[in-house]
Amino acid sequence: MSRQISRRTVLRGLGATLALPYLEAMNGWTAMGAPAEPNAARRLAYFYVPNGVHMQDWTPEATGAGYTMPFLLDTTLSKFKDDLLVLSGLTLDKARANGDGGGDHARSLSSFLTGRQARKTHGADLRAGVSADQIAAQKVGITTRFASLELGIDKGMNAGNCDSGYSCAYSNNLSWRSESTPMAKEIDPKLVFERLFASPGETSAARTRRESIRKSVLDSVNQDANSLRAKLGATDRRKLDEYMNAVREIEMRLNKVENKTVSAPKFTPAESIRPSGIPATFEEHVKLMYDMITLAFRADLTRVATFVIANEGSNRSYKNIGVSEGHHELSHHGNDKAKHEKIKKINQFHLQMFAYFLEKMKGIQEGSSNLLDQSMLVYGSGIGDGNRHNHDELPILVAGKGGGSIKTGRHLRYTKETPLMNLHLSLLERIGAPVPSLGDSTGPLKDLS
């Protein structure tokens, strides 16, 4: 058939004509839109890097405020020393084998925000736990148009076995809506933008009509689902429940908009910064995704986000920084000096892009403060050293002052085996979604404020 012009093809066309060099365009955004309103809302986001880091050049020696940044942090984040906490000694016990054998990569990502031991399965009875970001989203997401954003770069492995008997769902997903439903990542910045700021060329009347029809449609299919549900056995029901939850979530969002229980975007970005698709290079791609998070936070369309910079176990090569070998391959360095150097380069590169993001966040005023100060941005990996696959002594940073609730500028060392979940517990409290426990947490993390 002849190809019709659809909403998406229109967008594609627009994208092509508006494909300005994205960095330039994005740099201009602080000047655009309405001035930011005072807003005490806190933001929470998690950023995951795979395969551990070169810890010898990550962990500061001294603790407290006067610490010296080691090479990796010094060469990338020195500018943000006062905006950061370096946390040492945190442990992700549920990423360990605990009797389940190989599969550290799958377990690391799936337990990073859940603190739960992933069930070892290629598929049947998939189970991790509800992740910290989703706990926050359920609570604070009520006030924003989107409860949370889940972003990534890698599509997810397309074939084969991801990690030693674990379904690829575990090594691809950081965020889990329920024990058995991972939140799929959006990897195309264009689609993130569209979702946040709607399609170009649609009048608000047209949008209202479309959304009203959608509501009637969802109402009707919900009835279908209900009568189908009664005929299903327990396992199938769980699958249909995912469907029904998804329907409910969209209905809720439409209601929020219709009843005006959420505010309109705090600002609307210029059309010129609309991304045209997935950029050609990894660096541009990552930066553009960081930009999308900054935009979403700035417009207060969501207050919770996760970003998987590369899937756990990623074997990406970083030729642009002189590393031709695969990341995972290198991370099993066998103490080879040359390999150590290359891993450092990759770690440094990832941190540089994080610094780019912090710069953006800090540059956006919000009331008398800035967006970074209002946020709690956790950066790290569920593996310490990629060679040993250890899950204690994890590389963990927290950037941002959490609206004055975190005293940054320090290196804190915790006693051996302090659960990483304790950090999440503390941050959930700060964002207004306190829970008594999370995974293997033993209590809030001390000394953050």
Partner 1 sequence: MNSGFHNYPRTAIAILFAVSGLVTQGRVSGADPVANYDADVLPVLKKHCFSCHNEKKPRGGVVLDKYKNLTEIKKDIKLWERVADNLRTGDMPPAGKPKPTPKQLDVVNRWLDSQVFEFTCTGDKDPGKVTLRRLNRLEYNNTIRDLLGVENNPSEEFPADDVGYGFDHIGDVLTMPPILMEKYLDAAEDVLEAFFKNRALVNKHLKLANPSIATKQDITRIFSELGNRAYRRPITKDEVAKLEKLSDSLINKGEKPIDGLKAAMLAMLVSPHFLFHVELDPDPNSTSSHDVNQFELASRLSYFLWSSMPDEPLFQLARENKLREKGVVEEQIARMLKDPKAKTFTRNFPEQWLQLRNLKTVQPDKTMFPTFNDQLRDDMAREAEMFFEHITKENKSILELLDSDYTFANSRLGRHYGLKMNGYQEEFKKVTFTDNRRGGVVTQAGVLTITSNPTRTSPVKRGKWVMENILGTPPPPPPPNVEELKEDGKALTGTLRERMEQHRSNPNCASCHQKMDAIGFGLENFDPVGVFREKEHGKTIDPSGELPGTGKFANPSELRKLLLSKSELFARCFTEKMLTYATGRGMERADNCVIDALVEDLKKDGYKMQDLIVAIVKSEPFQKRKAKRGPKT
- Looking at residues 161 to 200 of the shown chain, list those that interact with partner 1 (rule: CB under 8 A): 161-162, 164-165, 167-169, 172-173, 177, 180-188, 191, 195
Judged by CB under 8 A, does residue 250 bind partner 1?
A: yes
Other beta carbons within 10 Å of 64: 12
On whether the CB atoms of residues 188 and 277 are closer than 8 A, the answer is yes
Pick the binder of partner 1 from 81, 120, 303, 430 (CB under 8 A): 120
Q: What's the one-letter identity of residue 227?
A: S
From the list 37-45, 121-129, 256-264, 415-423, the region that binds partner 1 by CB under 8 A is 121-129
Pick the binder of partner 1 from 158, 204, 368, 415 (CB under 8 A): 158
Judged by CB under 8 A, does residue 278 bind partner 1?
A: no
Q: Sign of torsion, CA 71 77 82 83?
A: negative
> Starting at the edge strand that comes first in sequence, how are the strands of the sheet with 149-152 ordered?
149-152, 304-308, 43-48, 375-380, 396-399, 84-91, 410-419
Judged by CB under 8 A, does residue 315 bind partner 1?
A: yes
Q: How far apart are the first and last CA of the chain?
A: 63
Pick the binder of partner 1 from 21, 203, 231, 322 (CB under 8 A): 231
From the list 35-43, 83-91, 231-239, 437-445, the region that binds partner 1 by CB under 8 A is 231-239
- The site string for partner 1 over 40-79 (x = CB under 8 A, - otherwise) reads ----------------------------------------
Using CA atoms, how far apart are residues 7 and 20, in angstroms rounded to an integer?
21
From the list 74-82, 150-158, 358-366, 422-430, the region that binds partner 1 by CB under 8 A is 150-158
Of 111, 86, 85, nearest in space to 96 by CA = 111
Structure tokens at 384: 């310490």
Question: Minimum Å distance from CB 403 to partner 1?
Answer: 27
User: Which ranges of 363-377 does DSSP label H, i.e. alpha helix?
Assistant: 371-374
Query: What is the radius of gyration, based on Cα positions, of the chain?
Result: 22
Judged by CB under 8 A, does residue 277 bind partner 1?
A: no
Q: Which of residues 372-431 bind partner 1 (CB under 8 A)?
A: 387-389
In the complex with partner 1, which residue's Cβ is closer, 207 or 446? 207
Pick the binder of partner 1 from 40, 201, 258, 319 (CB under 8 A): 319
- The site string for partner 1 over 335-354 (x = CB under 8 A, - otherwise) reads xx------------------
- Partners of residue 151 on adjacent β-strands: 186, 307
In the complex with partner 1, which residue's Cβ is closer, 283 or 429? 283
| Beta pairing, strands 176-178 & 181-182 | antiparallel
Using CA atoms, how far apart are residues 236 and 419, in angstroms rounded to an integer?
35
Using CA atoms, how far apart are residues 179 and 126, in angstroms rounded to an integer?
8
The C-alpha angle with vertex 134 and arms to 128 and 138, in degrees rounded to 5, equals: 135
Helix (H, G, I), strand (E, B) or coil at 120: coil
In the complex with partner 1, which residue's Cβ is closer, 218 or 270? 218
Judged by CB under 8 A, does residue 202 bind partner 1?
A: no
Judged by CB under 8 A, does residue 138 bind partner 1?
A: no
Query: What phi and psi, each to the nearest 5 degrees, are found at residue 416?
Result: -45, 140
Judged by CB under 8 A, does residue 215 bind partner 1?
A: no
Judged by CB under 8 A, does residue 284 bind partner 1?
A: no
From the list 74-82, 216-224, 408-416, 436-444, the region that binds partner 1 by CB under 8 A is 216-224
On whether the CB atoms of residues 73 and 86 are closer than 8 A, the answer is yes
In the complex with partner 1, which residue's Cβ is closer, 426 or 441? 441
- The site string for partner 1 over 78-117 (x = CB under 8 A, - otherwise) reads -------------------xxxxxxxx-------------
Pick the binder of partner 1 from 31, 34, 124, 280 (CB under 8 A): 124
Judged by CB under 8 A, does residue 125 bind partner 1?
A: yes
Size of the site for partner 1 (CB under 8 A): 95
On whether the CB atoms of residues 175 and 133 are closer than 8 A, the answer is yes
Question: Minimum Å distance from CB 386 to partner 1?
Answer: 11
Judged by CB under 8 A, does residue 331 bind partner 1?
A: no
| Beta pairing, strands 304-308 & 181-182 | unpaired
Tokens 């092509």: give the residue. 16
